[in-house]
Amino acid sequence: MPSISAIFDAHLDAIHALRTQEAAIQELGAQLITCLRYGNRIFLCGNGGSAADAQHIAAEMVCRFETNRRALPAIALTTDTSALTAIGNDFGYERVFARQVEALARPGDLLIGISTSGNSGNVIAAVEQADEMGLVTIGLLGGDGGQMLDQVAHALVVPATVTARVQECHILIGHIWCGMIDEAFAEPL
């Protein structure tokens, strides 16, 4: 295992590399706000730590991040164990998110697919389903972006190959977006 100091350095290197994508992070945050202002919903999905990130970001939107504001419609497609297991059993694990997109989403909604490799088959299937239905698609990706890079309408690729560093950047991006959303929907004093 690398030293703690080396891990800190790798973390900071990954965060500093995001500065080249500051404008894209800002632009996509604005798209999330526009989606919500028009009464549409944000869906999120991912596997493992990315599933946890999907749930974390959705919870910040539904509840609040740092500022009191109205609840906003964000749904992590990773949380309904009955749907996940039924779909996995009947249609295969690759369809667990796509089937939920098919059932719950409508044109104008937005899907954030989170994959540290960009190659998660079930997230790719959700992106394909969302695209067919007229949703805006955003990929939070890592490494070289993998297969999802060319499948999402908008990609933010963390240029790191260590999963933990990519996830640390993904949650930072999610927190930036949640802060932007808080500000846009803040209740007047």
**pLDDT for 108:** 97
pLDDT of residue 111: 98
pTM of the complete model beyond 0.95: yes
Q: What are 92-106's pLDDT values in tens digits?
A: 999 999 999 999 999
* Within-domain flag for 12: yes
Q: Please say whether the beta carbons of 123 and 113 come within 8 A.
A: yes
Domain assignment of residue 173, yes or no = yes
Predicted confidence band of residue 189 (pLDDT cuts 50, 70, 90): low
Nearest to 176 by CA among 78, 72, 66: 66
Residue 103 structural domain: 4-184
pLDDT tens-digit profile of 30-80?
999 999 999 999 999 999 999 999 999 999 999 999 999 999 999 999 999
What does the alpha-carbon distance between residue 87 and residue 165 come to, in Å, rounded to a whole number?
A: 31
Say if residue 172's pLDDT is above 80: yes
Is position 189 within any domain?
A: no
With respect to residue 161, please indicate whether it lies within any of the assigned structural domains. yes
Domain at 76, CATH number: 3.40.50.10490
- For residue 33, give the H/E element and its range: helix 22-37
CA distance 121 to 138: 16
Would 50 be classed as within a structural domain? yes
Instruction: Measure the CA–CA gap between 27 and 15, rounded to whole angstroms.
Output: 18
Is 112 contained in some domain? Answer: yes
The rounded Cα 57 to chain-centroid distance in angstroms is 8
Please report whether residue 107 resides in a domain.
yes
User: What's the one-letter identity of residue 107?
Assistant: P
Q: How far apart are the C-alpha atoms of 11 and 4, rounded to whole Å?
A: 10
- Tell me what pLDDT residue 187 has: 81
Assigned domain for 92 exists? yes
Evaluate if residue 3 carries a pLDDT over 80. Answer: yes
32 neighbors 42 (Cβ within 8 angstroms): yes
Using pLDDT thresholds of 50, 70 and 90, give the confidence band for residue 174: very high
For 60, the 3-state DSSP assignment is helix
Closest CA to 138 of 149, 125, 122: 149
pLDDT of residue 30: 98
Residues 29 and 136: beta-carbon distance below 8 Å: no
Total structural domains within the chain: 1
pLDDT digits (tens, 9 = 90+) for 112-170: 999 999 999 999 999 999 999 999 999 999 999 999 999 999 999 999 999 999 999 99
How close are the terminal C-alpha atoms of the chain, in Å?
50
